[in-house]
C-alpha cells in the first residue's frame, strides 16, 4: 500500500490529531505551525493539548514517521498532499475569519514545483476551495494542483478513535486524480467505513449542516427539559423514550447547561451568516442558538432559587472544560457561569481534572476565585457544589466524605450526572435539570 508524504498545516487540535494519526499509518508526516514555541515543545514530545492517547502516539512516531517544523519550505516543498488545518475564528459579524486559509494558500505557491493535492480539513464556508484555487491561479496560472475538501468530524475527548473509526469519510473533489489519491489514503483495509464522494462545495456544506443539526438537537431537548420541570416529568426518561426511535437516535439528547466548545457556537453562527448572504431564512437555527445562550441564565436562576441568596456563599465548581476528556475551555458554559456568580457576590473554588491552566488564562485567580488541585479541596467549607462538566471523576467520588466537608449538603447538577435517588438517600439536597 502506497505511503504518502503528507504535510499538515496547523498544530492545533485538528491538525495535531490528524498528523499524529496519519503517522501511525506509516505515512511520512510533517506538521507545520508558525508558533515557534509550540513547535519546539512538540519536538521535545510535549503535547500542548490534552487528548486521550495523543501523547503516546506522538512519542511513538516522532522522528520515525512524524516531524515538526516552523519553516514553510520544509513542509511545502516535499509534501505530496497538504492538509489545511488552520483556525477559522469567528469575526464580530459571525462569519469565519479565513485569513489563515488565505495565507496558507499564498505561502505554498512558490513550492508548486510539481503536482500537489491541497485538502481543506478546517471547517470553512461553501466555495472556500474555489477561492483557494483562484488565489493560487492569480499567482501561478500554470501550476499543477487540485483543491479538495475532507472535513473533519473529530470529537474532542475521542479524536483518535474518531479518526481511525469514523462514522463516515467525506471526500469532495473536482478531479479523478484527487479522488483516487484520497481513496487510496482512506483505503478499505485501513478505513472500512462509508465514504461519501461528492463535489467540493457539497463536502464543505456537509460539515456545517451536520454540526448545526446536532446543535439543534441539543437545544431542542433543553427546551423540552424546561417544560418537564414545569409539569413534573423526568426529561431523561423522555429522552430515552425518544431515542429508541431510529429516526431520532439517542445521541445528543442530554439536557443540561448547553453546548459549547470551539465548533458548535462558531459553526452555527457561520451557517446562519452564510444563509443570510444567500438570502435564505435560517430563523430555526437562530432560535436554537438563543435557546442555548439562555441556558446560562437558566442555570444561574436555578442557583438563586436553591440558595436564596448568592452573595457571600462559598461554592465548589466541578468542571471547567466544555466537555469531559479535554482541557478545552473555549465557549464552555462553565466559563460563562463563573463570572456571573462572581458578579453576584459568590466565592468560588474551581476544580477540573485537566482544564485548570487554560481556565486561569480566561478567569485569573482573584479574591472571589480560587483554583484547587483536588475534588476534596474544592468542597471544604462550601455551601453547595455546582456540577458543570460531566467528568467521570465526579461520579466516582465518595459523596459521604464530600458531604462531611461541606457547610450545607447541596448539589446543583447542570449535567444530570448523578443518580437523584442515591444522592438524596445520602442526605443531599439535589437539584437536577429538567426533573424534580
Q: What is the mean pLDDT of the chain?
A: 96
Instruction: Measure the CA–CA gap between 365 and 158, rounded to whole angstroms.
Output: 30
- Which residues 6+ apart lie within 8 Å of 318 measured at CB? 351, 352, 375, 378, 385, 386, 387, 388, 389, 391, 394
Residue 283: burial class (beta carbons within 10 Å; 0-12, 13-18, 19+):
exposed
DSSP 90: B
What confidence score (pLDDT) does residue 425 get? 97
β-partners of residue 90 are: 96
CATH code that applies to domain 208-288: 1.10.1040.10
Q: pLDDT tens digits, residue range 76-119?
A: 999 999 999 999 998 998 889 999 999 999 999 999 999 999 99
Percent of the chain with pLDDT over 70: 100
Instruction: Measure the CA–CA gap between 135 and 141, rounded to whole angstroms.
Output: 10
What confidence score (pLDDT) does residue 314 get? 98
Residues forming the active site: 263
Q: Which CATH architecture has domain 295-431?
A: 3-Layer(aba) Sandwich (3.40)
Q: pLDDT tens digits, residue range 267-317?
A: 999 999 999 999 999 999 999 999 999 999 999 999 999 999 999 999 999
Q: pLDDT tens digits, residue range 363-418?
A: 999 999 999 999 999 999 999 999 999 999 999 999 999 999 999 999 999 999 99
The reply to whether domains 5-198 and 208-288 share a CATH topology is no
The answer to whether 212 touches 285, Cβ cutoff 8 Å, is: yes
Query: What Å distances lie between residue 190 and 24, 160, 186, CA to CA?
Result: 11, 14, 7
Strands 347-351 and 429-431: unpaired
Query: What Å distances lie between residue 208 and 98, 212, 223, 328, CA to CA?
Result: 15, 6, 22, 21
Instruction: Measure the CA–CA gap between 226 and 223, rounded to whole angstroms.
Output: 5
Q: What's the half-sphere exposure (Cβ side, CA atoms, 13 Å) at 58?
A: 26
How many of the other CB atoms lie within 10 Å of CB of 297? Answer: 12
Per DSSP, the three-state class of 363 is coil
Domain ranges of the chain: 5-198, 208-288, 295-431
What confidence score (pLDDT) does residue 435 get? 94
The band of 2, judged by pLDDT with boundaries at 50, 70 and 90, is confident
Q: pLDDT tens digits, residue range 219-246?
A: 999 999 999 999 999 999 999 999 999 9
Q: Is it the case that residue 261 has pLDDT exceeding 90? A: no
Region of poorest pLDDT, from 28-32, 263-267, 344-348, 354-358? 263-267
Instruction: Measure the CA–CA gap between 429 and 185, rounded to whole angstroms.
Output: 54
Q: pLDDT tens digits, residue range 159-192?
A: 999 999 999 999 999 999 999 999 999 999 999 9
Q: φ, ψ for residue 159 (rounded to 5)?
A: -60, -40
Q: What is the DSSP secondary-structure string of 42-76?
A: HHTT--SS--TTHHHHHHHHBTTTEEEES-HHHHH
Q: Which CATH architecture has domain 5-198?
A: 3-Layer(aba) Sandwich (3.40)
What confidence score (pLDDT) does residue 263 get? 84
Whole-model pTM: value is 0.91
What confidence score (pLDDT) does residue 85 get? 97
What confidence score (pLDDT) does residue 299 get? 97
The band of 1, judged by pLDDT with boundaries at 50, 70 and 90, is confident
Q: pLDDT tens digits, residue range 318-351?
A: 999 999 999 999 999 999 999 999 999 999 999 9
- Which residues 6+ apart lie within 8 Å of 316 measured at CB? 348, 349, 351, 378, 379, 382, 384, 385, 386
Instruction: Measure the CA–CA gap between 190 and 251, rounded to whole angstroms.
Output: 26
- Which residues 6+ apart lie within 8 Å of 213 measured at CB? none
Query: Which candidate, 53, 25, 26, places its Cα nearest to that of 190?
Result: 25
Amino acid at each position: 500500500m502506497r505511503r504518502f508524504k503528507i504535510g499538515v498545516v496547523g498544530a492545533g487540535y485538528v491538525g495535531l490529531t490528524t498528523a499524529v494519526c496519519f503517522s501511525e499509518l506509516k505515512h511520512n508526516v510533517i506538521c507545520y505551525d508558525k508558533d515557534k514555541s509550540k513547535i519546539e515543545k512538540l519536538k521535545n514530545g510535549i503535547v500542548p493539548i490534552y487528548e486521550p492517547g495523543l501523547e503516546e502516539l506522538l512519542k511513538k512516531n516522532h522522528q520515525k514517521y512524524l516531524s515538526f517544523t516552523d519553516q514553510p519550505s520544509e513542509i511545502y516543498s516535499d509534501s505530496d498532499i497538504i492538509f489545511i488545518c488552520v483556525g477559522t475564528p469567528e469575526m464580530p459579524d459571525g462569519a469565519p475569519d479565513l485569513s489563515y486559509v488565505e495565507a496558507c494558500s499564498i505561502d505554498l505557491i512558490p513550492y508548486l514545483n510539481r503536482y500537489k493535492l491541497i485538502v481543506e480539513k478546517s471547517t470553512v464556508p461553501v466555495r472556500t476551495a474555489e477561492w483557494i484555487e483562484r488565489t493560487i491561479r492569480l499567482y501561478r496560472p500554470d501550476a499543477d494542483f487540485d483543491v479538495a475538501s475532507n472535513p473533519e468530524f473529530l470529537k474532542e475527548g475521542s479524536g483518535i478513535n474518531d479518526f481511525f473509526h469514523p462514522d463516515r469519510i467525506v471526500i469532495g473533489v473536482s478531479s479523478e486524480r484527487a479522488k483516487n489519491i484520497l481513496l487510496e489514503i482512506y483505503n478499505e483495509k485501513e478505513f472500512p467505513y462509508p465514504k461519501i464522494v461528492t463535489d467540493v462545495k457539497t463536502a464543505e456544506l456537509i460539515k456545517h449542516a451536520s454540526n448545526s443539526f446536532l446543535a439543534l438537537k441539543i437545544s431542542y431537548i433543553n427546551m423540552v427539559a424546561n417544560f418537564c420541570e414545569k409539569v413534573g416529568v423526568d426529561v431523561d426518561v423522555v429522552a430515552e423514550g425518544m431515542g429508541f426511535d431510529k429516526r431520532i437516535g439517542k445521541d445528543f439528547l442530554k439536557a443540561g447547561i448547553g453546548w459549547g466548545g470551539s465548533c458548535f457556537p462558531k459553526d452555527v453562527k457561520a451557517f446562519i451568516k452564510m444563509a443570510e448572504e444567500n438570502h435564505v431564512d435560517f430563523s430555526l437555527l437562530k432560535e436554537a442558538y438563543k435557546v442555548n445562550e439562555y441556558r446560562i441564565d437558566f442555570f444561574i436562576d436555578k442557583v438563586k432559587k436553591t440558595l436564596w441568596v448568592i452573595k457571600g456563599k462559598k461554592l465548589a465548581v466541578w468542571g471547567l472544560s466544555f466537555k469531559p476528556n479535554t482541557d478545552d475551555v473555549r465557549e464552555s458554559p462553565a466559563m460563562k457561569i463563573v463570572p456571573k456568580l462572581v458578579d453576584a457576590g459568590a466565592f468560588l473554588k474551581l476544580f477540573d481534572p485537566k482544564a485548570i491552566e487554560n481556565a486561569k488564562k480566561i478567569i485569573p485567580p482573584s479574591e472571589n476565585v480560587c483554583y484547587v488541585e483536588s475534588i476534596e479541596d474544592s468542597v471544604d467549607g462550601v455551601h453547595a457544589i455546582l456540577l458543570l462538566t460531566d467528568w467521570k471523576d465526579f461520579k466516582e467520588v465518595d459523596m459521604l466524605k464530600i458531604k462531611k466537608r461541606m457547610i450545607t449538603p447541596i448539589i446543583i447538577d447542570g449535567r444530570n450526572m448523578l443518580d437523584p435517588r442515591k444522592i438524596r438517600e445520602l442526605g443531599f439536597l439535589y437539584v437536577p435539570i429538567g426533573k424534580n
